[in-house]
Structure 1
Amino acid sequence: MHQIEPYYSWLKYYNVANDPNSPYDGKEYNYELYSETIYGYYIDPAWDFMGSETLFIKILYVDYNKGFIIIEFIGEWNDALNNDIMHFKRNIIDHFNSFGIDKYILIGENILNFHGSDDSYYEEWFDDMEDGWITAIGFRDFVIEEMKNYEIDSYINFGGDLDVIEWRTLKPSVLFDRINSIISRRIGLV
């Protein structure tokens, strides 16, 4: 797991450690010291702790004017044992909602498993965003199926055109525009 790095190519557009509105503002990354672990396996020092011992994140991009954020994940999303959605909602989502962020792009290529519980934090998150949306790209099929078993797909958009987006080939604003267009069609705004 220590070889799985967050996506670095967008650092020229945004660096979470240099964002005064970020909970990670001023964080200094020591790429020589691997100290964080998931189930005893060290992870790359660029991943950020958000309150869970099994799920780490990297905020890849935030646009406060357009109100969107792109977040990459690594680890096991475990709501049953660690209440990961609670940590994510309270420590990250609530923070960025206060700055007007209401469109969330979640990248889950490195989510290795999902264990659900109830959907109350997802519902709260969804209700907090009047005109916004939550979408997930790059999640493994079995993770999406498990999320659907807990009806998380009532709150997070998965599948369809979202499955074929090659997000690494796009600039963050282009990725947002493409996803916003897809979601707008899904919810009938266009």
Structure 2
Amino acid sequence: MVIVACGVGITYQFTQYFPGENVFVSAAGRWITSDCVFTLCTNVYSTVMIAYRVWKANKAIRRFGGSSLMEVLAIFVESAALYTSWTIFFFASYQSQSNLQFTAVDCWPAMSGIAFMLINVRVGLGWAQRAQDPSTVHSGIGPRTGGGGHGEHSYSMRPLAVNITRVVDQEDDFSPHQKKMGPGVSGEADSV
């Protein structure tokens, strides 16, 4: 909520901005600094809390023989670190009153999009789930017994096939007893 207030404050202050005014010492500068600090706090807090929940779930899953979520956690933390490092880069360039901050702020939406899409791309490519060790692969429906330390409550995934059939019914404009006589004229078929 505070980030929204800072965004509104920045927007309002830029409506009061005059050409030639220094963006680093204007009233908007205080709003920009506040917004950046709260963005950093939100990033770090959210990343730590989500990472803790994934780690806690991983710990619970491993007790029952499920696969590890540590690679998923690493992917999430790497993407969050990319976005947070860009925020720190902007904040440092702004506080040093460098014009590089204009490039940093203009590229910020692209960097957030890249950071968030990296999660989707890596999961889509299967980097979040490595292939199982052949010694732990189990064929069948029942629970696994022994082997691989996966516990006896794990079930293997079986291939799934989907067959799609498409039926197309086509209706003609003419019944079998009608014959087209000419443009716009139709009548009964003549029998000889």
Q: What is the TM-score of this pair, normalised by structure 1?
A: 0.22
Bigger Rg, structure 1 or 2: 2
Whose helix proportion is higher, 1 or 2? 2
Q: What is the TM-score of this pair, normalised by structure 2?
A: 0.22
Whose strand proportion is higher, 1 or 2? 1
